[in-house]
Amino acid sequence: MWERRYGFPQPARDQFGERVYLPQDIEKLRLLKRLMDRGHRPGKLMGLDVETLARLAAAPLPATDAEAPAANFHEFLRRLKDHDMQGVRNYLAQALMQQGLRTFVHETVAPLNAAIGQGWESGTIEVFEEHLYTEQMQRILRGAIMNLPAYHPVPKILLTTLPGEQHELGLLMAEAVLAVEGAHCVSLGVEMPVPDIVQAALRHGAHVVGLSFSIAFPAAAVAEGLHNLRTTLPPSIALWAGGRGSGHVKRPMAGVQLVPELFTLVELFKAWPGTPAK
């Protein structure tokens, strides 16, 4: 999309037709990612050179955001950098066992995501290491969710993402905090077209459709996707939108409940009519 819209990057092609990126392009992409995570729009950044982007990105984040996660998880990051996958799995499994799923999501998964993201932006975490982390964390969360029974018949919550949103970890975090409360969740995984979401919601008798948006999902696409789904879903089915990318929506949308924090998600579930106190 950036190649078509902005003319950057302009990768070469190898003998198999796969894109090949120059080191300076990779560096610029890293800087763009860091600045977009801080709220900058790509269209305003694309024409800037690497040196200018680096100066913009050099402003330090608050210590609570930038320093604490990496410091708190030094041992985990060491295992990941050593490619000690058994050590990574053991660390996560032990944290889950000690904390329980609810606390694990809030106090381990969320800050670890931040630490991994910061490492990727700074170049201390490689792309394949980020993927390894994500895969292990997803396995841990899926296993924990499967062991929890759903004992509240309402609301039945259908969870998914729109096409182009490949980040599944946020979706699993939402499912985990809901599952702890006994919610009846149906997860479709990622990248579901709007007509398929509507069909699944009707077939499953869902009371709520929940969408997850990462910060990297284009702001215009968040609003457009929510509008399309809201106008297609029956009015009786609620629409919740969460994840950091939901913050792209600056104005209230009729019939759409924005869920900026996992705590808010739990509050919405508990406030649903007919949900008994746990």
pLDDT digits (tens, 9 = 90+) for 211-237: 999 988 988 899 999 999 999 999 999
For residue 39, the model assigns a pLDDT of 63
* CATH code: domain of residue 104: 1.10.1240
Boundary-marking domain end, from 90, 117, 145: 145
Percent of the chain, pLDDT > 90? 54
C-alpha distances out from residue 175 to 77, 195, 211, Å = 25, 22, 11
One domain for residues 93 and 160: no
d(CA 232, CA 227): 9
Higher pLDDT, 137 or 69: 137
Boundary-marking domain end, from 117, 145, 173: 145
One domain for residues 167 and 248: yes
Phi, psi at residue 6, to the nearest 5°? -115, -10
In a domain, 276, yes or no: no
For residue 16, the model assigns a pLDDT of 83
- Considering only CA atoms, which of 155, 183, 143 is closest in space to residue 239? 155
For residue 161, the model assigns a pLDDT of 97
The token duo for 158 is 């259908």
One domain for residues 175 and 247: yes
For residue 145, the model assigns a pLDDT of 94
Residues 6+ apart with CB under 8 A from 8: 2, 25, 28, 46
In a domain, 207, yes or no: yes
Confidence of residue 258 (pLDDT cuts 50, 70, 90): very high
For residue 228, the model assigns a pLDDT of 96
Which of 14-18, 64-68, 157-161, 191-195 is the least confident region? 64-68
One domain for residues 111 and 165: no
Q: In the predicted model, what is the mean pLDDT of the chain? A: 88
C-alpha distances out from residue 244 to 8, 96, 109, 112, Å = 25, 24, 15, 15
**Residue 265, pLDDT above cutoff 60:** yes
C-alpha distances out from residue 247 to 106, 181, 182, Å = 19, 25, 27
Q: For residue 173, what are the β-bridge partners?
A: none
In a domain, 188, yes or no: yes
In a domain, 67, yes or no: yes
| Most confident option among 36-40, 84-88, 147-151 | 84-88
In a domain, 54, yes or no: no
One domain for residues 230 and 266: yes
One domain for residues 255 and 157: yes
For residue 68, the model assigns a pLDDT of 44
Q: What is the DSSP string of 67-110?
A: THHHHHTHHHHHHHHTT-HHHHHHHHHHHHHHHHHHHHIIIIIH
**Residue 170, pLDDT above cutoff 90:** yes
For residue 223, the model assigns a pLDDT of 93
| Alpha helices for the chain (secondary structure H) | 2-6, 23-37, 42-45, 50-57, 63-66, 68-72, 74-81, 85-104, 110-122, 127-146, 169-180, 194-204, 219-232, 262-271
In a domain, 177, yes or no: yes
- Considering only CA atoms, which of 28, 87, 81, 35 is closest in space to residue 57? 35
Residues 6+ apart with CB under 8 A from 235: 255
For residue 37, the model assigns a pLDDT of 65
**Residue 278, pLDDT above cutoff 60:** no
In a domain, 28, yes or no: no
One domain for residues 102 and 167: no
One domain for residues 135 and 69: yes
One domain for residues 182 and 131: no
Boundary-marking domain end, from 145, 174, 198: 145
Phi, psi at residue 91, to the nearest 5°? -60, -50
For residue 276, the model assigns a pLDDT of 56
For residue 277, the model assigns a pLDDT of 53
In a domain, 169, yes or no: yes
Which of 12-21, 68-77, 207-216, 261-270 is the least confident region? 68-77
One domain for residues 139 and 217: no
Q: Structural domain tally of the chain?
A: 2
Tokens 């699993």 — which residue?
172
The token duo for 268 is 């919405």
**pTM for this model (two decimals):** 0.73
Domain limits for position 105: 63-145
One domain for residues 205 and 262: yes
- pLDDT, tens only, 47-69: 888 888 888 877 655 444 434 44
Residues 6+ apart with CB under 8 A from 59: none
Q: What mean pLDDT is predicted for residues 167-182?
A: 94
For residue 66, the model assigns a pLDDT of 39
Longest dimension (CA), the chain: 62
For residue 67, the model assigns a pLDDT of 42
One domain for residues 176 and 266: yes
Query: CA angle 91-190-232, nearest 5°?
Result: 145
Q: What mean pLDDT is predicted for residues 112-131?
A: 87
* CATH code: domain of residue 202: 3.40.50.280
